[in-house]
Structures are given as structure tokens and as C-alpha cells.
Structure 1
Amino acid sequence: MRRIIALIVTLFFFSKEIISQTINENRKKIEAVRVATPPKIDGNLNDSAWENIPIANNFVMMRPDNGKPEPSTHKTEVKLVYDDDAVYISAMMYAPEPQKIPAEFANRDNFANTDFFMAMINPIDDGQNPVMFIVTAAGVQLDAKVSNGRNEDFNWSAVWDSAHKILDNGWTVELKIPYRALRFANEKIQSWGMNFHREIRNLNARYTWNFIDNTQGSWTQYDGLVENFENIKPPTRLSFYPYASAITKTFDGNTEFNWSAGMDVKYGLTENFTLDATLVPDFSQVGFDDVVLNLGPFEQQFTEQRQFFTEGTELFTKGRLFYSRRIGAAPIRSPQVDNENETLVKSDDKVQMLNAIKISGRTKNGLGIGFFNAITDKTEATIQNNSTQEIRKETTNPFSNYNIMVLDQQFNQNSAITLINTNVTRVGDFRDANATGLLWHVEDKKSTYNIDGSFKMTNISDDPTEPNTGYAFDTSIGKHAGNWRWEIGYQFENKDYNPNDMGILFSNNEQGVYGFVGYQLLKPKGIFNNYSITWFNNINFLHYSGTYTGTNSSLSFFANTRTRFSFGGNLNYRTESKDFFEPRQGSTSGIFFNRPERLNVNHWGSSDYRKKMAVDYNFYFTFNRQIISDVDQMSYGFAIRPRYRFNNQFSLIYGLDYSKSENQFGFVNSDDTHIYFGQRDWTSYNNSLTGKYTFSPLSSLSLSFRHNWSKVPYSQFYELNQQNGMLENTLYNGEHDMNFNSWNLDLNYVWQFAPGSQLIAFYRNSIFSSNENATQSFFTNLENLFNEPNQHTFSLRLVYFIDYNDLKNVF
């Protein structure tokens, strides 16, 4: 172990000395041309700036038939010029029947049923970290950052200009990419990695200027080269996003009104590093969480929807040490109330974030550096003495600081060594936490074989004199190129490893050997565009005692046909296993629940989204061997999501999910000497509806609705035998039936009235209900739900984009 860590540390500090290799040996090249008068961005390619300019042409198919030349009917010609302010790109995309080009509207950064053109730009030409600028045939803009050659971040947004035209012989697009949207060196002459993509939906094909070989490496390693940009200088990258918002909430007859104002700031500290700051943040318009009834031993994980935490965080999310929902979550402590003598008057259920900053970037030698810091306010509970009427305050979450530091050295266009540290410091006698991770992903020159892994350490201190230190290790070796792919690895987390103050981990004190082997079709064959079949296997043990806990095995299949029908399925098997977490006694207690053998089969399918009507579906069936005589355990369910596109502006998607578990056994209660389980039926319904009406690429109305209902009646109770993990009859008879409802309806109007500036009107109707009436019908439950208090939320938010360079020119 020490030798491995020493080797990785050595690679981290000396990897920039390794000569960069590339699998893109025959890259195409064109000359960058400076113009005195830039083209007008209107979709017309008749500007003098486009005359006598080198053409990027002869596109090659990326998928499905990798390497096939573009057809003569769908030629693509791209030109590029530049001046002191921006790069300008034009594309002429020929098509024999332009009136049939799919051109569905969508919100910004959302794909739809439409053709599109993409410019992928990598000024440092490192084969791993380009940015993408996309314009659809409906004129919708999308942009994204790519990190490590595989992770696309569409939450990243830049301010740039584009226009398109549908012509008699195809369609055109023009882009203006200001230098403020890019990070590049301050050098007199430089060349940038670039590739251009064209999606042709009717042909179900993607073509690229520089050929992308799908048998090896990452698609970002196959950029062409645009040479000889001369005398361009990075501008002052300083922009402001001041905002003002007003919000009103009505619940159970009471109405509250609030307003706020603040600002986000982006500042280019150097040509490669950017500071992002949010001052007095406002997250009142984030989407709702998909809350479900949770009877398991682990918390439910929610998707991050706050833009500051989703944009440009690729460095900070490495190693699963940063779960951003920890910041601004519930207080770390519950108020201590003497129920006989005191009454809880008020207690804050959310922690307020005061501000946050992040600094990130990458040097020309491939060293990524990230710094993140957030500060949250103190929360208190108000408690009243019933006799004296005195009020006391109790701190449930102190003033806290969240911090991350990251060093990420990339090399050879396919490998990286990362060092990351996270720290949570809380004022007073609350716990502090620190986590450090060393991560590695190293590939050979041809990007065929890789070694991937991490070593992590956590330190938690309620008492500074008695720190609690834990460790985790994971490493694997595999082949991820070509038709046949495989991986084998080993991982463990010891009993004290706990990154959950700032990260997320459901269980520790585990170790296991894991691996897979699979085959994938890389070129169309028969009715298939592609397919893959993979076998996975995990053998699991406790780390502390070495106790064998069980084996999981899975056979999966995925396919996509030439007619764009996608389908697949899994056959999953689990041996009889020891569950040390369901009894809620801690994995080192030696107490476990003996789970029976389990067999699961599932299937899913998705029809052609190019058609007006399309359907996604899935179903599953699971059977468990008996653990109580004459009791068969099984679960089954299905989901169906039809979608209909009325026209290019209006579409709806309905979803129905149903699942039922019969005779499921799970923890219900415990005392000092007994652990009780219950036998239950668990039925869940999830109805959802999403829709959008897009007035233009800059104005849209969207709907999101979800109703989740779960009912769990208990039929019998058992006591867990703490020696063998089996269930035995008991006289215990508690009341644990559950009837759970979560209802949310969001209506959102967005108008981009100027580049980077938005007016957003938002309405939400939400209802939450949890009781013990678990035997009622669906419609009776719905009727009772509507009798519960509704919360109505309406907010209006105005965000205005100000660029320092424009402001400077005005004055």
C-alpha cells in the first residue's frame, strides 16, 4: 500500500514532465484568418468576411456507422475568422429537403427533436477539457464544459451570439464566441484544438469534421487544429449578475411576503483561472425534490438544482467527497426539549447560506486548481418554559465554514492524478470534519488499458483531543477500448471512514472484490446500430471482522436498432446475505438481518423520439426465497411514459410508475434488548406530467407536476434473533402503518430579454401528508389529500447581465 501511494504522489508532482502522447495522429488543420470587419450575425453567409476563407469540410460519420464519409446530399462546410474581440464561425449544412429538417423549440441548454451544429473549442489543446457551443435548427443555444474527456456540464453557461436560417438547399448558422467566454494563453501566435459536429436527425447520424474513432480513446482526443491565431489577448473577464426577487407564500390562511437583492460575480483572476462568487444568494426558484417514503437505514439523496453548485464544479466533485446539498440543509442537531416542562415554540428547519466563492482553472501544463468556500449562518430553536413562561434559545446549527481545495494534474490527454481536501469547521462545541483523497486514473498511450482508484482518509472531531480517523481504498485495472471490455478491482471502507459532513456515503465497514466483462458492437450489424452485453459480479465482506456478507451477480443487455428503438434488461441474482445495516445497531455490533436469496428480472424500452408520439416503459419482477414459513416474498412494478409533440412549440410527457412489494420484512422499532421487524405490503404510485410551450428561443412556459403516494400496512411483527439474523414470533404489536403523499406543481415562465439577462415568473402548489391511514383507495386518498393545507408560492426574479468591457466602453 505504501509503495502504491508513494508511486502516485511521485506521478502527481512529476507528471508534467511526461511527454504528451496523442492517438489523434492524422488530425485535420485549417488556418485561422483575421478580419478587419467582422460578419454580421444574422444567419446570412453573404458577408465579405466569409469570402476566400479556408473551408473545413469532408465530414465523417461519428455514429452509427463510425468512419463512413458524409453523403453528397448532406455536405457540410465550416469557416472561421477572428478579430480582437471574438471568434466567428459559420456553417453551411446542405440538405435536399430543408422543409423536413426537424426544428423543435426547447429551453436553453435543452436538446429536442432537431438538427444541430456544434463547435467544440479547446484553446489549450489538451484533449480533455473543451467547451461546446451548440445551435439547433430552431435557433436554440446550448453550451457546456467537458472535463476529463467524458463529463459534460450543461449547467455551465456563457454569453455569446448566434443566428440561423433555413434555406432552399439546407440551413446555415453563424456564431460569435467572445473571448470572455474562453480561457486561452496570452501568447503572440497560438493554435487551438477544435472539432465541428453536425447532427442530422432524419438520418439518425452524427458527422464530425475530424474523424472520431470509437474503438479507442475519448471523443475529446480527436480535435482538429485551427492554426495561427495572432495577437489576440485575453480580455478582462469580469461580469456581474445583479438580481432582485420578490416572493409570497400562503399556507393554511397565513401569507408571508419577502424580497431580496444580491449579485453573482465572475472574475478572471488570470488567463486561466476564474473566481465565481454569490453574494446574498437566492434559491427560491429551484425545482422541487422528488421526495419518497423512506423506510430504509440510509438517507435519500437529492439532485442539486442550485445553479451556483451545478455550474463549474467538475473539480470539486471528484472522489465523492462533496455532496453540495449538505450546505444549506437541515441543522446538525435537534433541539433538546423537556416535554413535561417545556414547549418548542419555533425551530428553523433550514440553514441559511450567507455567501460562497469558488476559484477554478487549469494551467497550460494541465494542472487544475480549485478552491471553494461557503459560509452558513447560525440557526436556533426557541423554547418556552411552561411554568415561568421564560424563553430560551438553543443553537441547532452554528456559524459554519465549508472549504475545498483540489489539485488535479492531467497528462497524456487521457490520465490524471488528483489530490482533494474538504473541511467543515463549526463554531462552538459542534463537530468538525476533514476529508482527504488521493485519486488516480492512468491510461496507456493508446487509451486501451487503465488503472483507476483512490485512497481517502476522514477525520471527525467532536472532541479535539480524541479525533476519529477512517480510511477507504479502491483500485481497479481494466480495458475500456475495443469490442471486448473488462475490469477487476478491490475496495474497502473501514468502520471509521465517514465523509458525510460534506460528502455522501451510505455505508462503511465494507470491502469487496468486483469486476465485469462485456462485449459491445461498434459498427451497425443487421437490425442493430449498436448493442452491448455485460456480466457484473461483486463479492462482499465486512471490513472490521472479515465476515462474508453475500455475492451479487448481474447480466445486462442494451441495444439500439436502426429504427431508433432502444431496449435492454437485466437479470440480477443475490445470494443469501447478511445485512448489518437494516437492524440499525451499527455494522460493528455483530447484529445482522439474514436476507434470503433474491432473483430479479427487468426490461425497459424507448421508442423513436423523432416521431410525434413516443413511449418509454419498463417493468420488473423480483422473487425472494422464503424466510418465514408459508410466506412468499415478491415485488413487481412497471412504468410508462408516453410523450406527444403537438408541434415544434408544444409538447407533453405523462408518467405513471407503479410498484408493489408483498410480504416485505423491515425494521420498525427497538429498545435496549429487543429489535422488532414488521411484515408489510408496500404499494407506490407516482404520477407526473411535464410540458412546455416555447414562444421563441428566448421565451418559454414550462410545467412540472408530480404526485407520489405510498401506503404501507403492516400485517404481523417479529423479533430479530440477534445471534442468527432470523425472525421469530413476538407479542409486540405497535402502530406503524404509513400513508405518505408528496404533491408538487410548478409553473415557470422564462424570458431572456437581453443576452445573459432573464425575467422569471414562478408558481408552485405543494401539499405534504403523512398519516397511518394505509388501507384507503387511490381516489379516497386523493380526496383526503386535497383537504390538507396547500402551500402556494409565487415569485418574480429579475437577473441582468453586465460585462465590464461593455461598461468600460460606455464610460
Structure 2
Amino acid sequence: MIGRLVCLLIYLSITLGFAQDKKQYNILRQSESAKIDGDLSDSVWENPDVATDFVQFSPNLELAATPDRRTEVKLYYNDAGVFLSAKLYDDPSKIMSQFTTRDNFGQADFFALILNPNNDAQNDTQFFVFSSGTQADALSSPSIGQDFGWNAVWDSAVQKTDFGWQLEMKIPYRALRFPKTDIQTWGIQFKRHFRRERSDYAWNPIDRTKGYEGLYHGQLVGLKNLEPPLRLNLYPFTTGIVNTVGNQTSTDFKLGMDMKYGITDNLTLDATLIPDFSQARFDNVVLNLGPFEQTFDEQRQFFTEGVDLFTKGNLFFSRRVGSAPTGTVDLEENEIVENKPSEVGLINAIKMSGRLKSGLGVGVFNAVTESTTATVLDTLQNSRKEVEVEPLSNYNIMVVDQQFNKNSSVSLINTNVTRSGDFRNANVTGALFNLINKSNSYQLSGDFKMSHINQGKEEKTGFSSRLRLAKISDNFQFSLTHDYADKKYDINDLGLIFRNNYNNFTGRASYRIFEPTEKFQSYSIRFFSRYSQLASPQTYTGLTLFSEFVATTPKLDTYGFDFKIEPGKQFDYFEPRVDERFFITENQTRVGGFISTNYNRTFAINLRARTETFFEEGRESYSYEFRIRPRVRFNDFFLMEYNFNYDQRINDRGFSTFVEGEPIFGERDRQILVNSISANYNFNPFHGLNLQLRHYWDTVLYDEFMYNLNPNGRLSENKNLPKSELASNPDINFSTWNLDLNYSWQFAPGSFLTALYRNQLFTNTTEAQNNFETTFTNLFQQDIQHTVSIRLQYFFDVNMVKSVFTSKKS
């Protein structure tokens, strides 16, 4: 069957072609540099050609821009970089211009310049300028989408006019990667967004019904004798920290530096030579009752920027680097662990990545973490000793990725973690492919991965695979996927996998419109089904059916609803926390929906609700959840949003503890209440205030008697085992509070002054019957952690020194 599908895909690749007439822009070289102030009266803008005749690609296709909203773009280049000016015609009273922080789109019109120096249709560098003057930039490719974690240093300025607005941009060559050849042709695209109606226009027409947008770029011709600059950028910084907990105050002062160095025209080395992540935001901690670890998004900029190659195959989870120690402490009688660090210090980290003109991408990542010890106290001798819980460790990734046909690729990636001494070492290798036919209508993708763990005398080798066939164009799309992982497959030293031992078959189908109708600006209908099995033994575990409808009205209000059912018996082999034991549920059913009003209005609101139950004999369990998120945009400077989330679960059943090696379950009521506030005040595009406040409260109250898990997967109430007889009370009252107040000022390109105040509280007790008022009062009786930090970072381009000496010599 698979062989026939492969043959079909190859046949379609040969017989179907993708062709489009591409616009060309002939760029001129000029010696002078425009002053980037948004004023287009400089003489350098008199001679360049004009790029115009933009065409809408969303929500309508191939709708030409009317004269009153036309766009006129001019470019030229010199030794300093590529310069752009744009006149954007519009009714000035209708232009939306909310001030936001960098890379935050908000409610503002924008213009985008997209460059692809390799002209390969797959690797774009995108630069956005908003009508407010705010900047955004991203790397983009079919495999990662848009990566706004990447940041470059470039110049732009806007001015409002009586015909709309206008802008200037300067893209220095240090922000781009291109080969050193005498004559170059780059891929180029200009895009414009009208926020009030969420319409998008492009200079070279885009057909969003099929293919990655890079396929629709025009061509930038006329570039000659470009000299790639010395790409050496330094980011020295200093951070002062004051931390107070109760009556104890500590201070710290840090000096450090990050670096970017262009090894070749297309390869860049990034390094954090003296790391400092003290201003990374708090994680949104929740109570975890499930069998799998709790994870959080990456907050450290070095690990979020320019990591597209390293994400191939989903083998890299950057929070592993510097996470909690992996070692355990063997205690003697009368010994206790007095202090065990929650994280490991990072000594340094580097990443080298880039893509050659041939389409070959190369990436190398390396990080070193320090040896970490725990303090053990002998309570009889009143003596202490240090026990190593994480040795000096090296984290390494190597990846090569070959792109071809402007839409396909094959990749090879290896991750490795080496820990000194008698600690666990890990190695994972993956081979991946993504094949798309020339008409961009069908896709065949997959991967094969092997993991090897070495821990002393114990070794294990695991295997995983994935194969997917999909129709990826036009209104109706579908995909068929097979996922497999054996019991020994383990990537959790540098990657993330919640569970292994699966053999699943998944089908997806969807229908969406690409042109507005009288009642809808857009809508989509999606269906999903998954047949799940264990890999070993080959046994059925469950079936999931899901459907969803989402629509946006002509007034830009969005709503939707979904339905999910797991029909019949579902066999959960992970909730018991014991190999080969399982827990049965039946006919779990969920219904939900949401409404999100148009954010362009001063007041907007998001409402979401869902309810869930089991159609199972002897079980009366249900849950419901609703979220309310109103937001008020007081003006273009000030935005505030409140988020209220209430989740109630009645007679829920799940694992509680072990008694004499047997898993003990309980029936419990759980209530989750989350209140959060975010507020942003931006004085201008370069400095602003941000407030994040969050309170999370979670209670779990078990019934009086616990349950035994029987060999047949069913639960039976044990009248001889009240919860009071357990080693510890399973009831939980979990409450956290955290506040972040941040001020950021970009006082020069790439240079920032950041001031941060934060505080944090946390309690975890067994007093699940306490009400909200009592819990909140008890929470603030704890010692509050107050942290104040000020960080100064300066951007330094080595070419600045060269230009100074060149000017003096002249």
C-alpha cells in the first residue's frame, strides 16, 4: 500500500508542474545613504524604479488594490546595505496604530519586506514595520513557519501623511546571509496589512490555496559585486540583582557577553560566553496529577533565537539544558537532604548554523553545564556532606538538512548528552524526509529515529518512526499518519517525549473556504480520528473521534464549537504507574465552544466553555470549565487584559499513591481557579511598561475511602482503606502567586536598558476544604520573594570601528 502511494506521489511530481510569472525589481546601486527618518524627500529616492500594483491574497484572492490604497515601493543598495522607501496610501483616519513591543503585532497596520538571498523559496528573512513605528523580524521556512525569536539590528522610521503613511528601512548586510558572487538574484516580496479589515496584499500575487508563500516571491535583480561584511557583533551586558526573602537580602552583580560571528558568508556562530538568564520570566506553574512530567516554554532568548535547524525531528527540548539535576541521593540512616538545587548552572553555550547556496543546511549546538551538589545532613552527628547530583555535562546537536525542488528536504540529526563519571549518557539519531510534488498538492513525510541510553552496566536501544501522506492544497485536505515507538525509545536527556510504547494510526480531514461569502469571511470544518495501540504487546488501547467548526464573520468576530468522544472502552496503561497494569474508562465525551469578538474594538472579549462526562455504568463523573477574557484598549498606548478560568471536576478518578507496591486510586473533586491580569503601556516604539500578575488556586478533595485497581482494569472501593490510613493525606490545596513588572527602553539599535521587579508566593497543603478567602490569606502569610534587577545591554558591531578608521583615513 505504502509503495503504491510513493509511486503515485512521484508520478504527480513529474506530471504536474508549478509555474508562475514572477515580477522582477531591478535595483540600482547608489553611493549615498538615505537618512532613515521617514522623510522621502532625499535625492536618493528620485531614480529607483517603483514597485506597485499590489494584489490582495487574504481574505480575497487576486483582488487588485484600488488607487486610494495603493502602495509604492523603491529600493537601492550600496556598501552599507539595502535601502527601501514606501508610500502607503490610505484614509489617515482609518489607519490603526497601536504601540506595542518589538515582534508584537497588536492592532496596527504594517508593511513587510521579505528577502531570500539564496532564492530557494524556502528560507526567508522577514522585516516588518508597523504604522506605529514598531519593528518585527523573523526567519521563515515551510518546516518552522515564522520564528520571531530571531532578532536582527536594522533601522526604520515612519511618518504619517495626508495621503496615509510612509516609511524608510535600512537592512544592513550583517542581518542577511548571502554568498559572495559577482551577480546575484534574490527572492523578494513586499506585503501590506490593513488591520481594520485584516486584509493582506502582496506585490507578487500569492495563491494561499497551495504551497508555501516563498514560492510566490518575485525576483530582485541588479545586485553586483556585493561584499559580505565581517559579521562580528558583540552584546556586552551587566546585571544588578537584589533578592529579598523574609528578613534575608542578597545582592549580585553580573558581567557577561553574547556574541554573533559570521564564520563564512552563510554560517553564523552564536555564543553566550558568560550566561545570565536572571530576567527570564516566571513559569506558569500548575498542579500536576498526571503520570507525565510538567513542562514549560523556553524563556531564555539564546535558546529561542535561530534554532530552526535544531528543531528537526522534535529531538531538542532546550529546557533540558540547565534543568533539575538527574542524579539521586542514597541516604544512610539518620540522614536527610538539606538542600538540593532545582537547576544546574550553565557554563557556556554555542550554536553554529546556516544554509549554503546549494540548499544544504548545517547546524552544530553545544552547551556545557557545571557540576552540582546536594547538601546531606546527618541529624545525629550534626555534620554535613556534599553529594554530586549532576556532574560536568556536555550537550551536543549536529544536523544536516538538504533542501531541493523549492519545497522538499531530507535531514539527518544527532543529539548527544555526555555526563562525566558514573552517570547516564544518551545518544539519539534521526533521519527525516519531507517530499512535496511540484504542484504543491501532495506531501509524503516521515522520520526514523533510534535512541541509545548508557547508564553504567545498563544499556538500552529504542526505535521510533513516523510516516504521513497528505493532500495539502485547495479547499478539501486530508492526511493519513502512522506513529510508532517501542518501549525502549527514550529521548528525554535532550528531547521531550511524554510516553513511548505506542502504535497509532491517525486520519485527518478538513474543508475551508478561501473566499469570503455573505455570512462568513472564513470558516473551516475539521475531523480527526486516532486508533491507538501499544507497540508491545500489540494491544488496543483506545479510539478518539473529534470534530470542530471555526468561523469568522464579516465583522471579524470569530466563534466555533467542537465535539470529542472516545467510544467504548479505553485502556490507560500509564495512569497506574506500574508496567502492564491498566485503568479502564468508557465513552468519555466532551462538548465545547468559544466566541472571540473583534480585537479592533476598544472593548473585546473571549468566552470559552466546555463540559465533559463518562457514559459508564457505576460512574457519575462530569466536569465543566469556562474562561472569560475581556480586554480593553484604552488608546494606542495602553492595553489591559483580564483572564478568569474556572474548572470544576466532580467525582474524577485517578491514581493517588502506592500501598505495599500496589497502585491506589481515589475518587475526588477538583476545583481550579485562575485569575491573571496583563497590562501594557508603551510610550513609543522604543520603551514601555509591562505588568503580568497571576494567581493559581487548585484544590483536590478525595472521598473517604480509597480504591483498589483490579487486574481487569476496574476499580473497587476498599472500605478497609480510609484515606486517613495512608502514609500521607492525599488532599491538596495548591496556590501560587507571581507578579512581573518590566520596563524596557531601547536607547540605541540593539541596545536595551531593562528594569524588572517581581515577587512570588507558593503554598501546598492538605487543607483542601479551605475556601478561597482563607487560602488567599494563608498564602500571603508566607515569606514573599522580592526580586529587583536592572540589566544594561549594548549592541556593538565591529564594522563600526572599521568605518571610523576608514573615515579618518579619508
| TM-score category, normalised to shorter length | over 0.9
Deviation at 1:333, TM superposition (A): 2.0
- Give SS of 1:788's match: coil
Cα pair 2:144 2:308 within 8 Å, conserved: no
Q: What is residue 572 of structure 1 aligned with on the other side?
A: 564
C-alpha distance in 2 between matches for 1:723 and 1:391:
46
C-alpha distance in 1 between matches for 2:764 and 2:64:
60
Verify: 1:386 aligned to 2:379, yes or no: yes
Q: What is residue 612 of structure 1 aligned with on the other side?
A: 602
Cα pair 1:765 1:791 within 8 Å, conserved: yes
More displaced, 262-271 or 184-193? 184-193
| Structure 1 alignment gaps of length 5 or more | 12-17
Verify: 1:41 aligned to 2:36, yes or no: yes
C-alpha distance in 2 between matches for 1:149 and 1:233:
30
Q: What is residue 581 of structure 1 aligned with on the other side?
A: 574
- Report the TM-score, using the length of structure 1 for normalisation: 0.95
Change beyond 3 A, Cα 1:329–1:758: same
Cα pair 2:585 2:616 within 8 Å, conserved: no
Q: What is residue 275 of structure 1 aligned with on the other side?
A: 269
Deviation at 1:188, TM superposition (A): 1.0
Change beyond 3 A, Cα 1:189–1:19: farther
Deviation at 1:52, TM superposition (A): 2.8
Q: What is residue 503 of structure 1 aligned with on the other side?
A: 495
- Of all paired residues, the percent bearing the same amino acid is 42
Q: What is residue 596 of structure 1 aligned with on the other side?
A: 586
- Report the TM-score, using the length of structure 2 for normalisation: 0.96
Q: What is residue 217 of structure 1 aligned with on the other side?
A: 211
C-alpha distance in 2 between matches for 1:184 and 1:679:
62
More displaced, 203-212 or 381-390? 381-390
Q: How does 1:712-751 map to 2 (within 5 A)?
A: 712-730=700-718, 731-734=720-723, 735-751=729-745
Cα pair 1:531 1:557 within 8 Å, conserved: yes
Deviation at 1:74, TM superposition (A): 0.3
The C-alpha deviation readout for 1:134-161, integer Å capped at 9, x for no partner, is 1101100111111236511111111111
Deviation at 1:476, TM superposition (A): 1.2
Q: What is residue 553 of structure 1 aligned with on the other side?
A: 545
Cα pair 1:241 1:265 within 8 Å, conserved: yes
More displaced, 743-752 or 376-385? 376-385
The C-alpha deviation readout for 1:375-405, integer Å capped at 9, x for no partner, is 0001101223233344322111111000000
Query: Which residue, 26, 50, 56 being the options, matches 2:51?
Result: 56
Verify: 1:162 aligned to 2:156, yes or no: yes
- Give SS of 1:810's match: helix
Q: What is residue 15 of structure 1 aligned with on the other side?
A: none
Equivalent position amino acid for 2:471 in 1: K
Q: What is residue 70 of structure 2 aligned with on the other side?
A: 75
Deviation at 1:313, TM superposition (A): 0.3
Q: What is residue 420 of structure 1 aligned with on the other side?
A: 413
Cα pair 1:24 1:221 within 8 Å, conserved: no
The C-alpha deviation readout for 1:450-476, integer Å capped at 9, x for no partner, is 00111111000112x542000001101
Deviation at 1:300, TM superposition (A): 1.3
Cα pair 1:20 1:413 within 8 Å, conserved: no
Change beyond 3 A, Cα 1:770–1:651: same
Query: Which residue, 746, 753, 759 being the options, matches 2:747?
Result: 753
| Structure 2 alignment gaps of length 5 or more | 724-728, 806-810
Change beyond 3 A, Cα 1:2–1:357: farther
C-alpha distance in 2 between matches for 1:529 and 1:704:
33
Query: Which residue, 767, 771, 774 being the options, matches 1:777?
Result: 771
Cα pair 1:150 1:218 within 8 Å, conserved: no
Q: What is residue 693 of structure 1 aligned with on the other side?
A: 681
Equivalent position amino acid for 1:759 in 2: L
Verify: 1:294 aligned to 2:282, yes or no: no
C-alpha distance in 1 between matches for 2:27 and 2:692:
45
C-alpha distance in 1 between matches for 2:2 and 2:400:
21
C-alpha distance in 2 between matches for 1:415 and 1:301:
32
The C-alpha deviation readout for 1:607-660, integer Å capped at 9, x for no partner, is 111111111121000011235x2x411010100111101111111000001101
C-alpha distance in 1 between matches for 2:555 and 2:745:
37
Aligned residue-pair number: 793
C-alpha distance in 2 between matches for 1:253 and 1:577:
53
Cα pair 2:240 2:791 within 8 Å, conserved: yes
Cα pair 1:564 1:608 within 8 Å, conserved: yes
Q: What is residue 402 of structure 2 aligned with on the other side?
A: 409
The C-alpha deviation readout for 1:577-618, integer Å capped at 9, x for no partner, is 000000001xxx321001121110111121111111111121
Q: How does 1:460-539 map to 2 (within 5 A)?
A: 460-463=453-456, 466-539=458-531
Q: How does 1:363-382 map to 2 (within 5 A)?
A: 363-382=356-375
Q: What is residue 197 of structure 2 aligned with on the other side?
A: 203
C-alpha distance in 1 between matches for 2:374 and 2:703:
39
- Give SS of 2:722's match: coil
The C-alpha deviation readout for 1:253-285, integer Å capped at 9, x for no partner, is 111111111100000000000000001200011
Verify: 1:361 aligned to 2:354, yes or no: yes
Equivalent position amino acid for 2:593 in 1: H
Cα pair 1:103 1:137 within 8 Å, conserved: yes
Cα pair 1:22 1:412 within 8 Å, conserved: no
C-alpha distance in 2 between matches for 1:149 and 1:470:
26
Change beyond 3 A, Cα 1:722–1:457: farther
Q: What is residue 133 of structure 2 aligned with on the other side?
A: 139
Equivalent position amino acid for 1:764 in 2: R
The C-alpha deviation readout for 1:437-461, integer Å capped at 9, x for no partner, is 1111110001100001111110001
Deviation at 1:19, TM superposition (A): 11
Cα pair 2:639 2:680 within 8 Å, conserved: yes
Deviation at 1:22, TM superposition (A): 7.8
Q: What is residue 808 of structure 2 aligned with on the other side?
A: none
Equivalent position amino acid for 1:711 in 2: T
- Give SS of 2:561's match: strand
C-alpha distance in 2 between matches for 1:729 and 1:778:
31
C-alpha distance in 2 between matches for 1:19 and 1:798:
56
Equivalent position amino acid for 2:53 in 1: N
Cα pair 1:677 1:717 within 8 Å, conserved: no
C-alpha distance in 2 between matches for 1:434 and 1:48:
60
Q: What is residue 711 of structure 1 aligned with on the other side?
A: 699
Query: Which residue, 520, 530, 533 being the options, matches 1:541?
Result: 533
Cα pair 2:24 2:218 within 8 Å, conserved: yes
Query: Which residue, 424, 431, 434 being the options, matches 2:424?
Result: 431
More displaced, 757-766 or 381-390? 381-390
Q: How does 1:103-122 map to 2 (within 5 A)?
A: 103-122=97-116
Deviation at 1:322, TM superposition (A): 0.6
C-alpha distance in 1 between matches for 2:16 and 2:121:
10
Verify: 1:804 aligned to 2:798, yes or no: yes
- Give SS of 2:174's match: helix
The C-alpha deviation readout for 1:733-765, integer Å capped at 9, x for no partner, is 232100001111000000111110001000101
Across the aligned residues of Structure 1 and Structure 2, the Cα RMSD in angstroms comes to 1.9
Equivalent position amino acid for 1:337 in 2: L
Verify: 1:329 aligned to 2:323, yes or no: yes
Deviation at 1:20, TM superposition (A): 15
